[in-house]
Every structure is written in structure tokens, then in C-alpha cells.
């Protein structure tokens, strides 16, 4: 029928055999070829992969590897393949030009597992896209980068400056106060009110966030051997992390329940939780909705986690650099006195006329390098990139540290030189190569809020106070201690004097 009968003669069997062998050879060639086309990198040993080449602090080893293997190279964390992107152009090309293809998160227990794939930082695919878009729209409505948020920050700053005043003229480490104050800005945004600095519950949860960052920052071994988390006991503190997550979720659930009651009673609260609950109600009958109460709670955890530690660590670096560079501190104060004066409250509108202050903040962000490898990404499909094949699901890390210390971009990169961001007329030059918030589809959700907080806190502190390192304090190491973020170490003790 239709002339398609098969004649099983000896010749046909030979042809079949030949075709099979040719297919196997081609398959072998192409699969080998794809492996050959993976970005190069150091040798990988069984079980441990490239670990022997990395050491405890991976910043410098990775920079040296990029000098040897180029801008795109591969390392192995145990059996897990990780592609490292180095240099501004490469990171821009990957995350901006091929944005979606590099926008996944790796299926690593400590990244996607701990948050069950919920929230924004750890989620991916449609859930991530929809939730990120919604969160951004709501936060913009609340004045992200606008006056409403500015009002909230300014209100919080009054409490903050009073507390600083209470601690003047003696050795004082402001790190915890800064963190609580910055967390209060998120609290005002997320659930409509601030908490007192001496509220035990507040201190308790801030300490939990810090502990979570520390555990996550030291979780390399669980990334490589995830099964170790099931061992009896809790040597790697993963069980502790999950307990803390659940405790925080239960606390936020109580707040969500209070909001539901307030909504039923018609009491207006303009905050993230209320807007989300309204959206949840609208989506109730949709079968494919990504909106849920769990998602709301996990996003709120993300906002606190991602939004308080990063800003407060940057501000702590600001304190360190200003204490170490008294001449720069005085120049910033002179600009503040000139543009804002001693009595008026600093405003974002002042920023345009304060290029030196702004240049200092940018230089602090460059050197403090608070999130030096961003959050790991993953490829969402096989990608041909710069002549290499990066298979789908590969973990990809952007070496922001390498960009911020690249001597071709920043001559004498280890030196604190705000002038890099000024032209010969003293006008501010924004350099696109400064990427503390990373870039592309996963660009930090809170970048505009962070910029506003950095400016308002920085100018408010320096308007009111001068400070220097406490005499018995040595800030000998400006590299910081790297967990998930890069913290000044040892903790910085200063003496504040009211101006």
C-alpha cells in the first residue's frame, strides 16, 4: 500500500546497521562537542569539584581565575556546574540582552528549597514574573522613589537621630540601630506601622534575620551535599533556619489576620498587605492564580530580608569610610550646610545640587560591595553565549566584586576616591559600570528605595553629627567579612559629637 512496504533483505539490514553506527558516532560527536563548548575552567576533582582552588573567601580566587580562563568560565561546587560571569560587558550582555534566558534561580536547597520556591528572590517562571510585577506596581503606588516613601523615611529618621543623640560622646557601634531603623521603613510600607527600638519582639526578629544571613552565607557544604541536612542533630543549622522561617511566617500571619479584620470593619490601612489581600480576593475564582496568602507572607519575609540588611550594611560602610576619611567627612558636611543648612530636613530634591555627597555614596557602594556575587541565577534554556554552550539549569554567578575592583574601570581600585564620580567641573558622573543592584530582569526590586534611603540617612547623620573611630578601635581590614552580604569587620565603634 502506498509503495511503502519494507523488504527485510540482507542489504537492508546492512544499511540499517550502517545508519545506526553513523547515528551513534554523530550523537557521540555532538554531545562531546557540547561538553567541549562549555566555558573553560580549573580542573574539577571527584566529589569536591573545584573547591580546592577556591578557599574560604572566594573573591580573590575568582578574580585570579578570570585572568587565567577569561570572562566566562566554569567551576564545580561538588558535582554542581557553575558558570561565572566576569566583567561589566559580559554581565550586561547576559542579564540585559539575554535577560529571560538567564533569569532563573538554581535548584539549590538553600536558595529555592528553604523558601519553597515562594516569595520573589527564590521564585522563578510565571509565579516570579507575575508576583514581581505586582509587587513593583504596588510599591510604586506607595511612592517608591517618590514623596510618600520620602515622608515615611523622614518620619523614621526623627526617631533614629534621637536615638543616635542618646549615644553620643562615647564609643558606640550604630549597626543594630541602623538596621532596626531601616527595617522600620519596610515595616511602615508592608504593614503600616513602625516598631519601637526597645521592643523585644522587634530585636528578636532582627536577630533572626541576621542569623539567617549568617547561616545562608556559610551554607556552601549543604549546596554541595544537600543530603547532609538530614543528618541527626543540626550541625549545619538548616533545621534552625527552617524553624526561624516558620516562626517569622507565623508572626506575619497574625499581622495578616489583623489586617483582614481591619478590612472587614472598613478601617483603611494603606500598606502592602492590604493591597495584596484585595488582589487575592479578586483572584479567588481563578484556577491558575499565583496569588496566595503563603506567597504574601513569603514576599514580606523577602522584603525584610533583602531590604533591611543590605541598606543597613551599606550605611555601616558609610560610617566606616567617613570615620577613616575625616577630610571627606568635612567636605560632605560643608556641602550639606551650603545646600540644606543645619535646620532644614534633608530632601531628595536637594540631591541634584549635592554632587560631592552623591559621589561619596556611589564610592561607598563600589568599595563596600555589599552583595558581591548578587543572588545566583540559572539558565532557563540551553544558551549559546560568547562561543560556549551553557546548558539549561546551569547555575550562573555574576562577579560584581570583579567589576567594582576592575583597575581598567577604576584606577587604584582599592582607594576610596569619590572624585571618580565627578567630572572636571565637579558635576556628578553616573557610571553605568557601578552595578551594586545587579542589572537586567532580576535587577534589585528595591533599588530606588535603597537609593533614597542611602541619601536621606547619610545626609541626616552628617548634618547633625561628626564622628571618628573610637581610639581603641582599629579598622584594619577594609575587605569586610563575606556571608551573603559583605559586612565591615570588626564591627565599627565610633564616637559621635553633635555639630
Backbone angles phi, psi at 438, to 5 degrees: 60, -160
444 binds ligand HEM (CB under 6 A): yes
Backbone angles phi, psi at 303, to 5 degrees: -60, -45
Bin 413: left if φ > 0, else alpha if -120 < ψ < 50, else beta. Answer: alpha
449 binds ligand HEM (CB under 6 A): yes
Applying CB under 6 A, the span of 26-34, 218-226, 378-386, 433-441 interacting with ligand HEM comes to: 433-441
Q: What's the CA gap between 301 and 256, in Å, rounded?
A: 13
What's the first-to-final CA gap in the chain, in angstroms? Answer: 99
437 binds ligand HEM (CB under 6 A): yes
Please enumerate in sequence order all residues whose Cβ is within 8 A of that of 89, keeping only pairs 6 or more positions apart, or say none: 71
Q: What's the CA gap between 138 and 472, in Å, rounded?
A: 47
Buried b (16+ CB within 10 A) or exposed e, 466-483: bbebbeebebeeeebebb
Applying CB under 6 A, the span of 37-45, 48-56, 299-307, 330-338 interacting with ligand HEM comes to: 299-307
Can you tell me which residue has the cell 509565579? 127
Which among 144, 137, 138, 132 is positioned nearest to 105, based on CA atoms? Answer: 132
Q: CB of 450: closest distance to ligand HEM in angstroms? A: 4
436 binds ligand HEM (CB under 6 A): yes
Q: CB of 51: closest distance to ligand HEM in angstroms? A: 23
360 is in an annotated binding site: no
Q: CB of 58: closest distance to ligand HEM in angstroms? A: 16
Of 132 and 237, nearer to ligand HEM (C-beta) is: 132
- The single-letter DSSP state of residue 268 is -
445 binds ligand HEM (CB under 6 A): yes
303 binds ligand HEM (CB under 6 A): yes
One residue of 311, 336, 495, 496 binding ligand HEM per CB under 6 A: 311
Q: CB of 6: closest distance to ligand HEM in angstroms? A: 55
Q: CB of 131: closest distance to ligand HEM in angstroms? A: 9
**Can you spell out the DSSP letters for 136-199?**
HHHHHHTTTTSHHHHHHHHHHHHHHHHHHHHTTTSEE--HHHHHHHHHHHHHHHHHS----TT-
Which among 170, 158, 162, 159 is positioned nearest to 497, based on CA atoms? Answer: 170
Residue nearest to ligand HEM (CB): 446
Q: CB of 3: closest distance to ligand HEM in angstroms? A: 58
446 binds ligand HEM (CB under 6 A): yes
Can you tell me which residue has the cell 479584620? 261
Give how many residues touch ligand HEM by CB under 6 A: 24
302 binds ligand HEM (CB under 6 A): yes
One residue of 127, 203, 263, 375 binding ligand HEM per CB under 6 A: 375
226 binds ligand HEM (CB under 6 A): no
One residue of 42, 307, 418, 488 binding ligand HEM per CB under 6 A: 307
Other Cβ atoms less than 10 A from the Cβ of 279: the count is 15
Applying CB under 6 A, the span of 2-10, 228-236, 244-252, 307-315 interacting with ligand HEM comes to: 307-315
Of 173 and 448, nearer to ligand HEM (C-beta) is: 448
Residue list, annotated binding site: 444
Instruction: List residues near ligand HEM by CB under 6 A.
Output: 120-121, 132, 186, 302-303, 306-307, 310-311, 314, 370-371, 374-375, 436-438, 442, 444-446, 449-450
Amino acid at each position: 500500500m502506498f509503495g511503502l512496504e519494507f523488504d527485510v533483505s540482507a542489504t537492508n539490514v546492512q544499511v540499517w546497521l550502517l545508519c545506526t553506527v553513523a547515528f551513534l558516532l554523530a550523537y557521540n560527536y555532538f554531545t562531546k562537542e557540547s561538553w567541549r563548548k562549555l566555558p573553560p575552567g580549573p580542573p574539577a576533582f571527584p566529589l569536591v569539584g573545584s573547591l580546592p582552588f577556591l578557599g574560604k573567601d572566594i573573591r580573590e580566587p575568582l578574580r585570579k581565575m578570570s585572568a587565567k580562563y577569561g570572562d566566562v568560565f566554569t567551576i564545580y561546587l561538588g558535582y554542581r556546574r557553575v558558570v561565572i560571569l566576569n566583567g561589566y560587558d559580559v554581565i550586561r550582555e547576559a542579564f540585559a540582552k539575554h535577560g529571560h534566558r538567564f533569569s532563573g534561580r538554581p535548584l539549590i536547597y538553600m536558595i529555592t528549597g528553604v523558601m519553597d520556591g515562594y516569595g520573589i528572590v527564590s521564585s522563578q517562571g510565571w509565579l516570579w514574573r507575575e508576583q514581581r510585577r505586582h509587587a513593583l506596581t504596588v510599591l510604586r503606588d506607595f511612592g517608591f522613589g517618590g514623596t510618600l516613601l520620602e515622608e515615611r523615611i523622614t518620619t523614621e529618621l526623627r526617631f533614629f537621630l534621637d536615638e543616635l543623640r542618646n549615644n553620643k560622646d562615647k564609643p558606640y557601634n550604630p549597626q543594630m540601630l541602623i538596621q532596626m531603623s531601616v527595617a522600620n521603613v519596610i515595616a511602615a510600607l508592608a504593614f503600616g506601622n513602625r516598631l519601637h527600638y526597645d521592643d523585644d519582639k522587634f530585636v528578636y526578629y532582627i536577630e533572626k534575620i541576621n542569623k539567617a544571613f549568617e547561616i545562608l552565607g556559610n551554607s556552601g557544604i549543604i549546596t554541595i551535599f544537600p543530603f547532609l541536612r538530614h543528618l541527626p542533630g543540626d550541625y549545619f543549622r538548616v533545621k534552625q533556619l527552617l524553624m526561624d522561617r516558620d516562626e517569622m511566617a507565623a508572626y506575619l500571619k497574625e499581622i495578616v489576620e489583623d489586617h483582614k479584620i481591619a478590612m472587614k470593619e472598613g478601617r483603611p490601612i494603606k500598606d502592602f498587605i492590604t493591597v495584596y489581600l484585595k488582589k487575592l480576593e479578586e483572584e479567588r475564582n481563578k484556577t491558575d492564580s499565583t496569588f496566595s496568602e503563603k506567597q504574601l507572607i513569603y514576599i514580606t519575609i523577602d522584603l525584610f530580608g533583602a531590604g533591611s540588611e543590605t541598606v543597613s550594611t551599606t550605611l555601616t560602610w558609610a560610617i566606616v569610610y567617613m570615620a577613616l576619611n575625616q577630610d571627606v567627612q568635612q567636605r560632605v558636611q560643608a556641602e550639606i550646610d551650603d545646600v540644606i543648612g543645619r535646620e532644614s530636613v534633608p530632601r531628595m530634591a536637594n540631591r541634584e545640587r549635592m554632587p560631592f555627597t552623591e559621589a561619596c555614596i556611589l564610592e561607598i557602594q563600589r568599595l563596600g560591595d555589599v552583595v558581591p556575587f548578587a543572588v545566583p541565577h540559572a539558565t532557563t534554556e540551553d544558551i549559546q553565549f560568547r562561543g560556549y554552550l551553557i546548558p539549561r539549569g546551569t547555575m550562573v554567578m555574576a562577579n560584581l566584586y570583579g567589576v567594582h575592583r576592575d583597575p581598567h574601570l577604576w584606577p587604584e581600585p582599592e582607594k576610596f576616591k569619590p572624585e571618580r564620580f565627578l567630572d572636571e567641573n565637579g558635576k556628578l558622573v553616573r557610571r553605568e559600570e557601578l552595578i551594586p543592584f545587579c542589572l537586567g530582569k532580576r535587577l534589585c526590586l528595591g533599588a530606588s528605595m535603597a537609593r533614597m534611603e542611602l541619601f536621606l540617612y547619610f545626609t541626616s547623620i552628617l548634618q547633625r553629627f561628626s564622628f571618628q573611630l573610637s581610639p581603641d578601635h582599629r579598622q584594619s581590614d577594609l575587605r569586610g567579612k563575606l556571608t551573603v552580604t559583605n559586612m565591615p569587620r570588626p564591627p565599627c565603634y565610633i564616637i559621635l559629637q553633635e555639630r
